[in-house]
Amino acid sequence: MTDLQERFRQIKTFIFDIDGVLTNGDVHLLDTGEQYRTFDIKDSYAIERALQAGFRVGIVSVANSEGIRRWLNVLKVKDVFMGGPSDQKLNAYLGYLTRDSLNETEVLYMGDDLPDYPILSRPKVLKACPTDAVEEIKAICDYVSVKPAGRGAVREVIEHVLKAQSKWPVT
């Protein structure tokens, strides 16, 4: 078993950024001023599987939209920290760890850009990113998905963790 597989076996909590991780980073603007994003159904399925298997799933994102909140509610993601300036992501992350007494060695965080750097540079968290993350993020991550953001990167990493723990429905 590789060191990475052993780390996957320790994970109990997944934390994801929204834009550039769960979406491809595109924000579509309608004439009304409304914004919309596209999410991959396979990523959504993996989040549901993780929750059903007893994992925690959290969101730490600058994005703040009622539509995203409703989508996360449908998926039954309860730990949602959205909105605020990008330099406050670390505070939201640390607040989540403290609030729920989470052990950072049991957390996998997936981010894609410089606002995620303060979290991804922490030594104990398992660091992951999509293949199209910025170079500075890819350079510090333990796991770089072969999939791009919004196109299965989240599914891929969840599947690896659940398979390492024999919790994926088909192995």
17 annotated ligand binder = yes
pLDDT at 34 over 70: yes
Give 107's contacts (C-beta < 8 A, 6+ positions apart): 11, 12, 13, 14, 15, 97, 124, 125, 126
pLDDT at 84 over 80: no
What pTM value is reported for the model?
Answer: 0.94
112 annotated ligand binder = yes
40 annotated ligand binder = no
- Residue 102's identity, in one-letter code, is L
Query: Among candidates 105, 100, 96, 23, which has minimal Cα distance to 65?
Result: 23
In whole angstroms, what is the distance from residue 146 CA to residue 143 CA?
Answer: 9
Instruction: Give the pLDDT confidence score for residue 1 in this predicted structure.
Output: 60
* Count of C-beta atoms within a 10 Å radius of residue 54: 9
pLDDT interval class at 170 (50, 70, 90): confident
Tell me what percent of the residues of the chain surpass a pLDDT of 70: 99
Strand, helix or coil for residue 14: strand
Q: How far is CA 145 from the centre of its chain?
A: 12
Domain ranges of the chain: 3-165
CB 118 within 8 A of CB 136: no
Instruction: Give the pLDDT confidence score for residue 171 in this predicted structure.
Output: 64
CB 46 within 8 A of CB 151: no
Q: Which of the residue ranges 75-89, 130-144, 145-159 would you say has the lowest mean pLDDT?
A: 75-89
Tokens 């072969």 map to which residue?
A: 146
The two structure tokens encoding residue 122: 């922490």
pLDDT interval class at 142 (50, 70, 90): very high
Superfamily of domain 3-165: HAD superfamily/HAD-like (3.40.50.1000)
Over range 134-153, report the average pLDDT: 97
Instruction: Give the pLDDT confidence score for residue 159 in this predicted structure.
Output: 97
* Averaged confidence pLDDT in the chain: 93
pLDDT digits (tens, 9 = 90+) for 35-70: 778 899 999 999 999 999 999 999 999 888 888 899
pLDDT at 106 over 90: yes
